Amino acid sequence: MTIEIELYDYYRSSASYRVRIALELKNRSYQKIPINLKTGGQHELSYRTINAQGLVPALIIGPKVLTQSLAILEYLEEVYPDPPLLPRNPFERAEVRSIAQIIACDIHPLNNLRVLNYLKHEASIEEQQVSDWYQHWVHEGFLAIEQKFLTSAGKYSYGSDITFADICLMPQVYNAKRFSCDLSPYPTLTRVAENLSLLPAFTRSHPDFN
Ligand SMILES: N[C@@H](CCC(=O)N[C@@H](CS)C(=O)NCC(=O)O)C(=O)O
């Protein structure tokens, strides 16, 4: 029996974009349910009953709900192991997770919509300073990733196989470009992102096609 999968999603949400890429790579068909973050759909009671945090994504698998994109990636990896998105070797798996977490735990949460909105509307910080804030945290994270890529990167973030690191990298690069971050100090990261952008699973999950 095939389990029905639904994804509460916003096309420009990088956390949702991660899950879209993973579902494509795992060849899973799924139904998208759009939540418009621009008009506050994430705060509606009907959505809060699905994700109490009021954040996308939320994955519906049969009768169950799963939130948090990294937890969703881990779940998909365990349930649909083919193709693998983590290396077999435990140390290498941890290294891949380490790159993914630089993005998902140390860049993205500081630059999330609700954080930028808080800075603008509650802390009354000027537009330019909010933009500087965004770029600062991308720069800190990308600098560390560029350094790690000197030893880890091949065609992709970790050698020549697609991993969680790539799934997290692509949406963050898309977002950084939207916020006019200068990517010239990160040539390896940029090269990896260009390679990823050529893959059908990454093209199909890109915000322009969602
Ligand atoms: N750690 C969460 C982050 C989820 C998250 O922050 N989602 C953003 C979009 S990328 C969101 O829903 N933002 C709505 C808001 O900030 O109001 C995950 O990885 O799923």
Say how many Å lie between the CA of residue 94 and the centre of ligand 1.
Answer: 24
Pocket of ligand 1, beta carbon within 6 A: 13-15, 37, 42, 55-57, 68-70, 104, 112-114
If you measure from the C-alpha of residue 1 to the centroid of ligand 1, how many angstroms do you get, rounded to a whole number? 31
Ligand 1: which atom is nearest the Cα of residue 117? 16
d(CA 18, CA 128): 28
Residue 104 CA to residue 74 CA, distance in Å, equals 14
pLDDT given at position 177:
97
Cβ atoms of residues 164 and 100 within 8 Å: yes
Smallest CA separation from ligand 1 atom 10, residue = 13
CA of 76 to the centre of ligand 1 (A): 19
Predicted confidence pLDDT, tens digits, the chain (210 residues) = 567 999 999 999 999 999 999 999 999 999 999 999 999 999 999 999 999 999 999 999 999 999 999 999 999 999 999 999 999 999 999 999 999 999 999 999 999 999 999 999 999 999 999 999 999 999 999 999 999 999 999 999 999 999 999 999 999 999 999 999 999 999 999 999 999 999 999 999 999 999
Tens-digit pLDDT profile for residues 106-148? 999 999 999 999 999 999 999 999 999 999 999 999 999 999 9
Instruction: Yes or no: say if 172 and 145 are a contact pair by the CB < 8 Å rule.
Output: no
Q: Which H or E element spans position 7?
A: strand 5-9
pLDDT score for 164: 98
Q: Which of 35, 112, 175 to mutate to test the pocket of ligand 1 (most atoms within 8 A of CB)?
A: 112
Measured from the Cα of 37, ligand 1's closest atom is: 14
Domains of the chain: 5-83 (3.40.30.10), 90-205 (1.20.1050.10)
Query: What does the pLDDT read at residue 185?
Result: 98
